[in-house]
Structure 1
Amino acid sequence: MSAAHAHPQLLSLADWRALPEDTTARTELQEGVRIVSPRPTKAHAQVVSRLLVQLAAQLPDGAEALTDVEVVVTPTTPATVRVPDVILCPVSPDDAVRATDVFLAVEVISPGSRRTDQVTKRSEYADAGLGQYWIVDPVDKTLTALELTPEGYDGRAYDGEYTTVRPFTATIDVPGLFPAT
């Protein structure tokens, strides 16, 4: 094994953007390290689609709901780039999305992502100043709505209807997010 392989270099944002597109897996960048996970399941995609439909129907002018978009959480090396399941952001011609541009990031927990979504991404998004972070749990059938405070994220889980005024007024039918079992 060569020394270059024994101690790989942490990726910068430019290195990340130079990588070829990978459509076989979900790829994110965590502190300069490429993280690869399986593509979402059908059940996961159903939850994401249902949430997107509910949010899109309530968006104010100038805002959009997007899926599968890279969000630059930390632009400096070692860089962090996440791909939340859903983001709300201003309508913009700019292709790059920075965490500071995002009104809301939503992660839907998948098998194998629970700790990443509840701990790692929660910490990263808070450090980046992302004001609203929701975690949707298909197992518990809940939506945990977190709002950034000076002490970190604060919030609680909802299993019925959830109404928020931030980042804009919206009501989410939480049970309606989950496929009938």
Structure 2
Amino acid sequence: MAIPQEKSHLTYAEYLALDEDIRYEVIDGQIYNMSPAPTPKHQAVQRELLTEFNLYFRGKQCSVFGAPIDVCLAEEDDITKIEEWVQPDLVVVCDQNKIREKRIVGTPDLVIEIISKSTAKKDKVVKFNRYQRAGVKEYWIVDPSNETIDVYCLENEGFAHRGTYFKDDRISVHLFEGLSIDLANVFREDAEG
């Protein structure tokens, strides 16, 4: 059952009761439909980034998760009171208390969004501002079409642009000493197959 058109407000409990395959995000009171599914290139880039982070975090305190996973930015356990959640493409959480059975509750340390033509404005403006307000320490915006990654780090309660990285670059992840990612692996020609 889809959300009725007259519905302009949705709690997390109501969302969970929908019992359907359509996924939604709610940001600053606005309901966003997460359908249709991402493209194979988007998924290939996500898979490669997930692999890089997962290998680094194996045996360490932090955990990486790939979409779909609900992230409730406010630290609220009562699902009838949660009125905002997102589904980032990748999320890194270092405080294991934020990882619940069915969702992440609280602000993640690092968030990665992989943009498409239909999500670019939401990822670059709406989510950018919301993640900044929530206190996400590092935010990446990945553009698979142009094979670039823009990196932002939280400084004095605002995101500072740390650089735009291209397919032939290597990114040193600011939050995690010793973690650097070769983007030739992320944007591999054979990654889609």
**TM-score, with structure 2 as normaliser:** 0.79
Distance in 2 of aligned mates of 1:70 and 1:176: 27
- Corresponding residue number in structure 2 for 1:52: 50
Does residue 148 in structure 1 map to residue 154 in structure 2? yes
Paired amino acid for 1:157: T
Q: Structure 2, unaligned stretches of length 5 or more?
A: none
Residue in structure 2 matched with residue 94 of structure 1 by the alignment: 100
Give the aligned partner of residue 43 of structure 1: 41
Alignment root-mean-square deviation, CA: 2.5
Contact 2:8 2:31 (8 Å CA) reproduced: no
- Deviation (angstroms), 1:166: 0.5
Contact preservation (8 Å) 1:142, 1:158: yes
In structure 1, C-alpha distance between the alignment counterparts of 2:5 and 2:36, rounded to whole Å = 26
Structure 1 20/33 Cα, relative in aligned 2: closer, same or farther at 3 Å?
farther
Q: Which residue of 2 aligns with 1:180?
A: 189
Stretch deviating more after TM superposition (46-55 or 28-37): 28-37
Amino acid at match of 2:114: V
User: Tell me, what secondary structure is at the counterpart of 1:28?
Assistant: strand
| Structure 2 counterpart of 1:29, from 26, 31, 56 | 26
117-126 or 26-35, which moves further after superposition? 26-35
Secondary structure, aligned partner of 2:175: coil
Contact 1:145/1:157, CA 8 A, preserved across alignment: yes
Q: TM-score with structure 1 length normalisation?
A: 0.83
Task: Give the drift of 1:137.
Answer: 0.8
* Equivalent position amino acid for 2:117 in 1: P
Q: How does 1:9-158 map onto structure 2 within 5 Å?
A: 9-22=8-21, 25-36=22-33, 37-59=35-57, 61-68=60-67, 69-74=69-74, 79-90=83-94, 91=96, 94-95=100-101, 96-100=103-107, 102-155=108-161, 156-158=163-165
Give the deviation of 1:172 after TM superposition.
Answer: 1.1
Task: Report the residue type matching 2:31 in the other structure.
Answer: R
CA distance in 1, matches of 2:64, 2:17: 26
> Deviation of residue 130 (structure 1)?
1.2
Aligned residues: 174
Q: Label 1:127 to 1:66 Cα distance change in 2 as closer, same or farther (>3 A).
A: same
- Structure 2 contact 72–82 (Cα < 8 Å) conserved: no
Query: Percent of aligned positions with the same letter in both sequences?
Result: 26
8 Å Cα contact 1:30/1:81 also seen in 2 = yes
Following the alignment from structure 2 to structure 1, what is the Cα–Cα distance between the partners of residues 6 and 24?
21
Q: 1:108 and 1:72, CA in 2 relative to 1: closer, same or farther beyond 3 A?
A: same
Q: 1:167 to 1:123 in 2, by over 3 A?
A: farther
Structure 1 alignment gaps of length 5 or more? none
